[in-house]
Amino acid sequence: MNPHLFVYGTLLSGARHPMGERLRRAARLVGDASIAGQLYRIGHYPGLAETAAKGAIVHGEVYVLGNPVSMLKWLDAYEGIRPGGPGDYERVERMVHLASGAALSAWVYLYRRRLGPRRPIPGGRWLAASDRP
pTM score, two decimals? 0.93
Can you tell me the distance from the alpha carbon of 8 to that of 110, in angstroms, rounded to the nearest whole number?
10
How many domains are contained in the chain?
1
20 has pLDDT over 90: yes
Surface-to-core class of residue 64, CB atoms within 10 Å of its CB (0-12 exposed, 13-18 middle, 19+ buried): middle
- Mean pLDDT along residues 43-50: 93
pLDDT digits (tens, 9 = 90+) for 61-100: 999 999 999 999 999 999 999 777 778 999 999 999 999 9
The number of beta carbons lying within 10 Å of the beta carbon of residue 119 is: 9
pLDDT of amino acid 128: 63
CATH of the domain at 80: 3.10.490.10
129 has pLDDT over 50: no
pLDDT of amino acid 43: 85
- Mean pLDDT along residues 112-133: 80
pLDDT higher at 130 or 95:
95
Can you tell me the distance from the alpha carbon of 113 to that of 51, in angstroms, rounded to the nearest whole number?
14
* Owning domain of residue 64: 4-131
* Count of residues in the chain: 133
34 has pLDDT over 90: yes
